[in-house]
C-alpha cells in the first residue's frame, strides 16, 4: 500500500528541507497542472500530511498516479533552480508518498445531487478524472468502460513494475464513494450509441476513449504469427509465447515498456530495440531509456526496417545527412541491408483512435483521425465533449488531467445553461 519506514520518511523530510521555496517557483510553472509545490513542501514539513494530500488531490485527482509516471526531467525536477549547480529537489518522491497516503485513506460523504446526469465513456486517465470532478459537483455520473476493469492505459498500457495496480484499484473505491456508477465491459458504438444516451436523459456526454488502435509499418510480414503490437502485448504479456529473442521496433516510451516487460519473461531473454534515428534522438524520456539500458535491453540505432520475415527483420542502415540549414536528415542506404534474427517482433510505432462512437451525426475528426473539439472541449455535436489522447494524440497523464479539468468546468456550465432553457 503506502508503507514508509521512519528512515525513509526522514529522508523525504531532508529532501523537502532542501527546497528553496522560491517566490516565483520554476517547478510550479513547469508542471502542466501547476501543482503548488512550495505550499505542499511547507505543509509536509509542518507535519500536515493529510492536508497536503487533500490539496494535491483537489488540484489533480490523479496525484497518486502522476508522480510515478510523469516525465519529471521535463517538468518539476528538470526545472528546479537547484538543479543548475547541484541535484534538483525530488518533489515527485514526496508527492508520491503524500498522495498515496491520502488515496488509501480517502473518505467522503456522497455529494448532494444537482439533478443533472453525464455519461463518461472511457475509464482511462481523462475518464477517471472527469468522473471524480463531476461527481464532486453533484452530477449523476455513469462511467462506461470497454474493458472489464477501469484504468485504461494505467492498467493495460503501463507495466505493473512501473505502476502498482493497487493504486489504480484504489481509484475504483474512490469513484464508488463519490456515487459514480461504473459500467464495465460496455462498448459504445455497436449496440449503444450517443443518441441512445441523450434519449435516456443524459445532459452531456464526455468521450475519453484514448488511442487504442496501433499504427502499422505498412510492410510485408506484419500479419505473421510472431509479430505483435506493443499496446496489445502490454495488456496481457503472459499469454504471449515470445521465444528467447525479441526485437522491438520503435524507440518511444511504449517501446521501452514493451522491451522491459519482455525482458522479465524469462532468464534467457534477449531483447533488442531497433531505432531508426541516432541514440540522442530516441523519443523515450532519458530516464526510461536509461532504465532499459541498465536492465540489459540492447539497442541498435540508425536502422530502418524493410520487411519482417519468419526469422526476424530485414533492415537497412540509416545515414545522417547534415543539411545547409543546419538541420539533420536521414537517408536509407539500401545497399547496406542486414538481417536481425528474432523469435518474436513487437511493433511500437505509435497509436491512434479507434472509430468514433456513432450516432445520427458523426463526430468530426482531424486529419490525424483525432476528435476535433473547440476551445471548450466540445465536439461538433452539441453536448458531446472530449479530452485526453483521443483529442491530443498520446500525451502524458498529467497533460490529460490538466485539459480534462478545463473541460469539466465547461460541461458544468453547458448543463447549467441547458437546464435554464
- Inter-residue contact 121 to 207 (CB < 8 Å): yes
**Selection from 208, 254, 213, 146 nearest residue 388 by Cα:** 208
CA 193 to centroid of chain Cα atoms? 26
204's enclosing H/E stretch is strand 204-207
Across the chain, mean pLDDT equals 94
Q: Which domains does the chain have, with CATH numbers?
A: 6-104 (1.10.1060.10), 117-212+353-420 (3.50.50.60), 215-347 (3.50.50.60)
Dump pLDDT digits (tens) for 355-410: 767 666 789 999 888 999 999 999 999 999 999 999 998 899 999 999 999 999 99
| pLDDT on residue 361 | 73
Where do the H-state alpha helices sit in 105-162?
125-136, 153-156
- Report how far residue 130's alpha carbon sits from residue 123's, in angstroms, rounded to the nearest whole number: 9
Residue 67: how many other CB atoms lie within 10 Å: 25
Cell of 158: 503501463
Cα–Cα distance measured from residue 142 to residue 66, given in angstroms and rounded to the nearest whole number: 24
Which pLDDT belongs to residue 40?
97
Q: Exposed, middle or buried: residue 11 (CB in 10 Å: 0-12, 13-18, 19+)?
A: middle
pLDDT at residue number 108: 85
CA distance 23 to 308: 56
How far apart are alpha carbons 43 and 7 in whole angstroms? 19
Which residues of the chain have a pLDDT value below 70?
1-4, 190, 356, 358-360
pLDDT of residue 359: 66
Rounded Cα gap, residues 162 and 96, in angstroms: 13
For residue 200, give every residue at least 6 positions away whose Cβ sits within 8 Å of its Cβ, in sequence order, or none. Answer: none
Cell numbers found for residue 418 = 441547458
Q: Determine the pLDDT at residue 14.
A: 95
Q: How far is Cα 152 from Cα 61, in angstroms, rounded to an integer?
A: 16
Angle at 77 between CA 125 and CA 38, to 5 degrees: 90
Instruction: Provide the 8-state DSSP code for 137.
Output: T
The string of pLDDT tens digits covering residues 258-315 is 999 999 999 999 999 999 999 999 999 999 999 999 999 999 999 999 999 999 999 9
Q: What's the grid cell of residue 179?
A: 456515487
Identify the pLDDT of residue 3.
Answer: 57
pLDDT score of 328: 86
Amino acid at each position: 500500500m503506502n508503507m514508509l519506514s521512519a528512515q525513509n520518511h526522514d529522508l523525504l523530510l531532508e529532501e523537502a528541507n532542501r527546497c528553496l521555496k522560491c517566490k516565483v517557483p520554476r517547478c510550479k510553472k513547469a508542471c502542466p497542472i501547476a501543482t503548488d509545490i512550495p505550499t505542499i513542501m511547507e505543509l509536509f514539513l509542518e507535519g500536515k500530511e493529510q492536508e497536503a494530500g487533500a490539496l494535491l488531490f483537489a488540484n489533480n485527482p490523479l496525484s497518486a498516479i502522476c508522480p510515478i509516471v510523469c516525465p519529471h526531467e521535463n517538468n518539476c525536477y528538470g526545472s528546479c533552480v537547484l538543479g543548475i549547480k547541484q541535484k534538483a529537489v525530488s518533489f515527485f518522491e514526496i508527492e508520491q508518498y503524500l498522495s498515496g497516503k491520502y488515496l488509501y485513506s480517502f473518505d467522503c460523504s456522497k455529494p448532494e445531487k444537482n439533478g443533472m446526469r453525464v455519461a463518461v465513456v472511457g475509464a482511462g486517465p481523462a475518464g477517471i478524472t472527469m468522473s471524480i470532478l463531476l461527481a464532486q459537483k453533484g452530477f449523476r455520473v455513469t462511467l462506461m468502460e470497454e474493458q472489464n476493469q477501469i484504468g485504461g492505459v494505467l492498467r493495460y498500457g503501463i507495466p505493473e513494475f512501473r505502476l502498482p495496480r493497487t493504486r489504480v484499484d484504489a481509484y475504483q473505491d474512490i469513484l464508488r464513494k463519490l456515487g459514480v456508477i461504473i459500467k464495465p465491459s460496455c462498448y459504445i458504438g455497436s449496440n449503444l450509441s450517443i443518441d441512445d444516451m441523450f434519449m435516456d436523459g443524459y445532459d452531456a456526454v464526455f468521450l475519453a476513449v484514448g488511442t487504442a488502435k496501433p499504427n502499422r509499418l505498412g510492410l510485408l510480414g506484419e500479419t505473421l504469427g510472431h509479430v505483435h503490437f506493443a499496446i496489445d502485448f502490454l495488456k496481457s504479456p503472459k499469454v504471449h509465447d515470445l521465444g528467447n529473442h525479441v526485437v522491438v521496433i520503435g524507440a518511444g516510451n511504449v517501446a521501452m515498456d514493451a522491451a522491459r516487460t519482455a525482458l522479465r519473461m524469462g532468464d534467457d531473454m534477449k531483447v533488442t530495440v531497433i531505432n531508426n534515428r541516432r541514440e540522442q534522438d530516441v523519443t523515450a524520456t532519458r530516464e526510461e531509456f536509461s532504465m532499459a539500458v541498465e536492465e540489459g535491453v540492447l539497442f541498435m540505432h540508425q536502422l530502418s526496417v524493410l520487411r519482417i520475415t519468419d526469422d526476424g527483420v530485414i533492415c537497412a542502415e540509416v545515414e545522417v545527412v547534415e543539411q545547409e540549414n543546419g538541420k539533420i536528415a536521414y537517408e536509407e542506404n539500401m545497399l547496406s541491408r542486414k538481417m536481425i534474427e528474432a523469435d518474436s517482433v513487437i511493433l511500437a510505432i505509435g497509436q491512434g483512435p479507434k472509430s468514433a462512437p456513432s450516432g445520427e451525426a458523426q463526430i468530426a475528426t482531424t486529419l490525424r483521425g483525432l476528435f476535433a473539439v473547440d476551445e471548450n472541449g466540445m465536439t461538433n455535436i452539441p453536448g458531446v465533449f472530449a479530452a485526453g489522447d483521443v483529442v491530443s494524440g498520446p500525451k502524458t497523464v498529467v497533460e490529460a488531467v490538466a485539459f480534462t479539468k478545463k473541460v469539466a468546468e465547461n460541461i458544468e456550465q453547458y448543463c447549467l445553461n441547458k437546464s435554464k432553457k
